Each structure stands twice: as C-alpha cells, then as structure tokens.
C-alpha cells in the first residue's frame, strides 16, 4: 500500500535541539502519520505535517476513555543506519489492546510500513549520541461524536515521533521505589494487560504521593491479597534472588512488556535461570535484608533497564546492593542496549532496518 506524503513547508519546520539538551517526551518531529476508521474500514492513510486535532466536545474518547497506544523506539547505529526494535511485536500487542477495548485491528504490515515511512521522512530527527533514541508513539482513539455507553464506530490512528534523551536525567543509576499499599493499578478481569490510558490514570495518585516522599517510582501490588508484586510504575520489574532472575508472571493484570520478553531471552542466552511466578513483597523485603535478593530492576521501553537501589515499604526503607548497580543488571543492560544501538551483534534478529 502506498502512503501519500504531504511535507510541511520550510517555514513550518521546527528547530532541532542538540542531542545533549534532549529531554523525554517534550519535543516532536515535523510530521505524523494519520488515518481514520469509518464505515467499517481504515481510510486515507497519510503522512502529514504535525498538527493539532479539532475534536467535538461530545467525542467518545473524552467521555469513555476508549483509547490505546504503544511505546517503541528507533536507534541510529554506528554506520548511520536507523533501526526500530521489534516493531512487529508492538503491532501484535496493539491489536491485543484493541481487542480488549472494542477497537479495530490494524494490519501489522501497514502498522510497520507507516512508521517506517514516517521515520524516513523525519530521519534527520533521529539522534546519534549515547543514551538518545527516537521515541515512537502510535495511538488509537475513539472519534465518534455521541454520548452513550457503547463502543465507538469511528477511530483515529496516528503516530508521532519524539527525539529523546535518557528517561531519567541521571541516566543508568539506581532509582528509588515506593510500594503502594493502599491503592491498586489493576484487577483481575480488568484492562490491566491492555495498553490503555485508564491504567496509567489509575497510577497518578500514588505516584504523586511517592514523589512527594522522594521516590520517583512506584511498585504495584495485586488487588486481591495486596501482597504480590505486579508492575513498577509504567514498567515491568525483575529481581535477582540467589543468582537467578524472577519476575511476576503474566496473569492478565500487567502489560506484556516487549523489553521484559527481550531481557528474559537475553538472560537465558547468558545462562541465567529465569522464573515467572508470584512474588510476595513481604518475602522479598526479607530477602533484601538478608542479602539473598541482591539486585532489582525495572524493564520497559522508555528507560530500557533501570536499577532499583532502595524500596520503601510499610514505613521502612530497604537498600538493595548498597544502592549500587548489580553485576547481572549491568550485563543485561549492556547486552540489550548494545543490540538496540547496533554495537552488539543482534543474534535474535530483533532490529528492523528503516533507513
């Protein structure tokens, strides 16, 4: 399928920032991809200048939160080429989210082609310095104008791009996490596994409280027994216990992280034993105290791998590995980021060349 491209005028082009001044999610490229689902099919896919939408006050997404999105990245390799990381897995996950939220699927080849062509148009925006990347945000929203509790019959799908620096301003350093004991992010049978905005809205209250206490990240517990670890803020979470890697199992309440899956595959290739099972926070803090839990880290698209140095639970702070980056965490980070940036051989064939 050909995708028409309308280039913005020279005077409409934005000023690019130096790689050293890039933050996360603040600046966007000159163009975007857009198409409209109407009368039972996707219509008029195109690349257009980055622009605002005009939305009716009764637009369905504004009242019933019927929307989904993805988070992806593209990296510039040492030879100057640009590669996306596992884009077909993002296409698959977006369709899983769409199914749960009563939204139309998108052909995976079209999904990848649209983003590929968009990056080619805005290829000069892809940064080249260590710790930088091009963040990709595909989004689908319900666009039908009506008030009534039913699925929309019209949708917008669009993709925007943002050149970004490190998710955390201090880069690859241990962060601190607050365990939420009062509120939960998701419940069995809910939308926890879908990448929909409502899941993130549910985290804002505890996240605000945690940050006021000096903890930039939140660890979420299950909604039934309030003791099993689920996610960490907007990322999956892993622990190193007796030299083996443990992560909460996928049971419908947490996101099927593509970085999570990649880290498990890398760890297995390196010879580490990995386990997906329920992890009791009470047992974990005991293991942190006696040293059998020697490392912990978050995994996700935005920040890749983020070490955890301190956990606050029930009015007590627990320090992991003297608040230092652990050896296993470092090895996994070096391998993952090395593959993404083309500095380590991609034996998994995860990189998808764009340009």
329 token code pair: 């965490």
> How far is Cα 202 from Cα 183, in angstroms, rounded to an integer?
9
Q: Is residue 224 predicted with pLDDT exceeding 90?
A: yes
What does the pLDDT read at residue 118?
Answer: 98
pLDDT band at 166 (very low <50, low <70, confident <90, very high): confident
How confident is the model over 239-270, as pLDDT tens digits?
999 999 999 999 999 999 999 999 999 999 99
CATH of 175-340, one of 3.40.640.10, 3.20.10.10, 3.30.70.360, 2.130.10.10: 3.20.10.10
327-340 vs 258-270: helix crossing angle, rounded to 10: 110
Q: Is residue 120 predicted with pLDDT exceeding 80?
A: yes
pTM value is 0.96
What does the pLDDT read at residue 211?
Answer: 96
What does the pLDDT read at residue 181?
Answer: 95
How confident is the model over 323-355, as pLDDT tens digits?
999 999 999 999 999 999 999 999 999 999 999
CATH of 10-164, one of 3.40.630.30, 2.40.160.50, 3.30.470.10, 3.30.70.20: 3.30.470.10
| 8 Å CB contact between 306 and 171 | no
Average pLDDT, the chain: 96
Domain ranges of the chain: 10-164, 175-340
What does the pLDDT read at residue 20?
Answer: 87
What does the pLDDT read at residue 245?
Answer: 98
User: Burial of 39 by CB count in 10 Å (0-12 exposed, 13-18 middle, 19+ buried)?
Assistant: exposed
What's the mean pLDDT in 284-309? 96
> How far is Cα 218 from Cα 329, in angstroms, rounded to an integer?
19
Among 12-21, 91-100, 260-269, the range scoring the smallest mean pLDDT is 12-21
Q: Is residue 66 predicted with pLDDT exceeding 80?
A: yes
Which long-range contacts does 321-326 make (Cβ < 8 Å, 24+ apart)?
Answer: 321/294, 321/295, 323/174, 324/174, 325/172, 325/173, 325/174, 326/240, 326/294, 326/295, 326/297
What does the pLDDT read at residue 25?
Answer: 87
């Amino acid at each position: 399928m050909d995708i028409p491209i309308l280039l913005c005028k020279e005077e409409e082009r934005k000023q690019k920032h130096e790689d050293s001044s890039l933050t996360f999610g603040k600046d966007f490229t000159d163009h975007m991809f857009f198409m409209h689902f109407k009368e039972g099919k996707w219509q008029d896919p195109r690349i257009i200048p980055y622009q605002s939408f005009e939305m009716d006050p009764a637009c369905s997404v504004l009242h019933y939160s019927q929307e989904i999105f993805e988070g992806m990245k593209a990296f510039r390799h040492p030879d100057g080429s640009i590669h996306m990381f596992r884009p077909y897995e993002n296409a698959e996950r977006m369709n899983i989210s769409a199914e749960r939220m009563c939204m139309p699927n998108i052909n995976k080849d079209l999904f990848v082609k649209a983003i590929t062509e968009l990056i080619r148009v805005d290829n000069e925006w892809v940064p080249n310095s260590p710790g930088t990347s091009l963040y990709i945000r595909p989004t689908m929203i319900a666009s039908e104008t009506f008030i009534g509790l039913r699925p929309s019959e019209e949708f917008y799908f669009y993709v925007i791009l943002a050149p970004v620096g490190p998710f955390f301003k201090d880069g690859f350093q241990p962060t601190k996490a607050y365990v939420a004991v009062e509120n939960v992010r998701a419940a069995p049978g809910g939308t926890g596994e879908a990448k929909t905005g409502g899941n993130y809205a549910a985290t804002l209250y505890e996240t605000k409280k945690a940050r006021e206490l000096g903890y930039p990240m939140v660890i979420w517990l299950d909604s039934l027994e309030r003791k099993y670890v689920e996610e960490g803020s907007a990322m999956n979470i892993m622990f190193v216990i007796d030299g083996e890697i443990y992560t909460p199992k996928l049971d419908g309440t947490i996101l099927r992280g593509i970085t999570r899956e990649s880290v498990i595959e890398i760890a297995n290739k390196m010879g580490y034993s990995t386990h997906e099972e329920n992890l009791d926070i009470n047992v974990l803090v005991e293991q942190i105290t006696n040293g059998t839990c020697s490392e912990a880290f978050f995994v996700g698209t935005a920040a890749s791998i983020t070490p955890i140095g301190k956990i606050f639970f029930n009015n007590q702070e627990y320090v992991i590995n003297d608040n230092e980056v652990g050896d296993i965490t470092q090895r996994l980070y070096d391998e993952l980021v090395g593959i993404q940036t083309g500095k380590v051989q991609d034996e998994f064939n995860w990189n998808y060349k764009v340009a």
